[in-house]
Amino acid sequence: MGELETALRKVRDGGGRAFVPYVTGGYPGVDAALLRALADAGADAIEVGIPHSDPIIDGGVIQEASRVALERGTHPRDVLATIAEADLDVPVAVMTYANIVTRPGLDAFVGELAPAGVRGVIVPDLPVDEAGELEKAAEARDIDVVLLAAPGTAPERYAAIGAAAHGFVYCVTTYGVTGTRDALASTAHEVVASMRPETDVPLLVGVGIATPQHAVEACAFADGVIVGSALMGKLLDEDRAGLIELAAAFREASRAP
């Protein structure tokens, strides 16, 4: 069990709910100071995206943030340098895509994470039955590979995800890409309910958590929430203070009822 899972289990087992904000590495304003501000706002862990040219799970806000970051010449090592500079007391997970992970080789990629202070890695386009080699390389460095569970998944795959889960399970609320929604999808509860019998790892809900009220609703059945597009939307509007204020509101909303 790595530091990411340990931290989130501590929140859950203490009766709380976790708040995990996401920001896109390399986008203007996503610097060490912002990561520290998110930690100060009460984040239990922080997810930092390593931008990719084909972010298949990401909606318009994160796609735009990734585009800008890449046009600025952002390299994965730049994102890791920002995380290292922040030197946070809460665990950090990076989110990226399989091409970025496999191109330098799994050992080489994972080998750069731990020295930067990264404690988890999320690769949405690497399914559970193809994640074994990455999990082995990451486990050797006490890094949790976070798997995703989505609506419509077959029962046997829920079981496979649960058996292999580390850190937390990223429970996708609905079909489609990331982005804000008008309401929390009913499928969010279905995914969490399907995963509960399969694992004791914390179950966090992400994709479409657009408002603090959505966080309240999700935390009634999940172990926490991941919030990305709502926060990055503030930064795209050049409202850094608004991002931090909204993060604090999500933190408060996601506290145990």
The residues annotated with a catalytic role in the active site are 47, 58
Cα 160 to Cα 13, 132, 180, 225: the distances in Å are: 24, 12, 29, 22
Q: What is the dihedral of CA 65, 69, 72, 76, to 10 degrees?
A: 180
Q: Is 12 left (phi over 0), alpha (psi -120 to 50) or beta?
A: alpha
**DSSP calls for 143-201:** -EEEEEE-TT--HHHHHHHHHH--S-EEEE-SSS-S---SS--THHHHHHHHHGGG--S
The distance from CA 196 to its chain's CA centroid, rounded to whole angstroms, is: 19
